[in-house]
Amino acid sequence: MWLLRSPARLLVLLAAAWIVHASAQLTDAPLRLPGRPAPQSGVTAAAGASQAEERAGYFGIPGTQRRLFYWFFQARSPSSGAPLASAPLLIWLQGGPGCSSLFGVFFEHGPWGLNATLGLVPNPHTWAAAANLLYIDQPIGTGLSYSRDASDKSASQLDVAKTLAAFLQAFYKAPQYGFLARSNLILAGESFAGHYLPATAAHIKANVPALPLAGVLMVAPFTNAPAMYESYARWALQRDLIPSALFKSVQSALAACKLQSALCNTVDPAACEPASQTCEYLVWSALVRGTGSQLAARNLYNVRDTGCSACYAYLDQRLEAYVAANRQRLGVPHKVGYSACADPPYMALWGDMTRSYDDLLGALLDNDVNVMVVSGDDDFVCNSLGTTRWVDALIWSRQAGWASVKPASWNGGTFRRLGPLAFVRVNRAGHMVPMDQPALSLQLLQQWLATGQPAAKKRP
């Protein structure tokens, strides 16, 4: 009762009860960011714009010192601004490991982008037109997520999966998100999220049947390391970015990388870290920095960009400057640091890099989970050659049928689809497909949610 002794305290408590919804483990509040552009034209409060929520906050993971940062945007109609009652809940996980999901918010599919002077610019192709968006900074140490125990880290996909499953269960139960009761769950993410997504989806399917998991959307996924490392040299050669002498010179290191990865994935977890060393330094670095390679002067995430090596450094700088200026509004405790891509989570999952998670996808496909894999044709890092290789090798009940599915065209490139599996290639897009092709990406999401595939191109 001592809390109520001071009237000032009481006032603070009442104010807190009014603006902050704290369920058992979720603490969040509506966001009112300065410069937040007004809703699109024609929207009035009466049309429901005022009910459409944007909230940010933290989930305290039970039994730990960990607090996971998230940012939520309610789905709403772009024309009326009214909430979309039956839209799914799509969670977005950035890759890295260790990169903040604010990349997704500001540069891919959030309601607004962030320009060079840190102004917010409305994004006419936001995915909030199709889904409720929940951006999560994870694993712990990533973005604005932290642990009060500084030595704490997530060093396995099981840890990642259990943490996310616990968060999502609390999220669906929280009173402030009661309107999501009938919303299916879509797990989405990019790049190294190609590890998080299958691991988390498989964990949810097996252990948390209460969560309405309906689909997994993998953008530029890094899922099967051997397939990816094998493709680097061949893809670069095909695109004329390395000389054939360099292609030949990495072949023995590639064989070692594949052998060690195979050991890591089958009998010997102790082989994982050495495998990551071999694959990263003797294959990847050798290709990027080898004699005659043009890769070092390209944007490896989109090889059409030339003349820079850290071509996306400006994205990191914008995020870091924006967070520094708005941390209080985002509810971030003052001791918590922020870097767009943090090293500790990367180091903690270094050995996990060469582990493969595609074997978990087959069982998901055979259990009515829709999986869409999206690959940008100009991405070297998770190129479509390596991605095609592991998608074709997925073991599931319709693997034989999949082999004979021919690519069909859609507006943005080609796609293959059989039942719950879709594999989409996007022309003129690199790693961050929604950044490079925003309109097509939204269209793709909408069509996948509606029909499970992109709309085939109309014949003239």
Ligand X SMILES: *[C@@H]1O[C@H](CO)[C@@H](O)[C@H](O)[C@H]1NC(C)=O
Q: Name the residues that contact ligand X, by CB under 6 A.
A: 35, 115-117, 119, 121
Residues 22 and 3: their CA atoms lie apart, in Å, by 17
Q: Shortest gap between Cβ of 322 and ligand X (angstroms)?
A: 12
378 burial via Cβ count (<10 Å: 0-12, 13-18, 19+): buried
* 123 vs 388, beta carbon nearer ligand X: 123
54 pairs with which residues across the strands? 73
Q: Shortest gap between Cβ of 246 and ligand X (angstroms)?
A: 40
* 113 vs 194, beta carbon nearer ligand X: 113
- Whether 189 contacts 373, CB under 8 Å: no
Say which DSSP state 30 is in.
Answer: E
Measured at the CA of 108, the angle between CA 391 and CA 42, to 5 degrees, comes to 130
* 114 vs 303, beta carbon nearer ligand X: 114
Residue nearest ligand X, Cβ-based:
119
Specify the residue for token string 């595939």: 453
Specify the residue for token string 């949810």: 204
Q: Shortest gap between Cβ of 54 and ligand X (angstroms)?
A: 17
Q: Shortest gap between Cβ of 318 and ligand X (angstroms)?
A: 11
* 35 vs 292, beta carbon nearer ligand X: 35
Rounded alpha-carbon distances, angstroms, from residue 437 to 263, 318, 378, 411, 440: 38, 20, 12, 11, 6
Backbone angles phi, psi at 372, to 5 degrees: -120, 125
| C-alpha 113: how far from chain center | 17
* 43 vs 286, beta carbon nearer ligand X: 43
Residues 153 and 151: their CA atoms lie apart, in Å, by 6
* 115 vs 238, beta carbon nearer ligand X: 115
Q: Shortest gap between Cβ of 173 and ligand X (angstroms)?
A: 37
One-letter amino acid of 218 = M
Q: Shortest gap between Cβ of 112 and ligand X (angstroms)?
A: 9
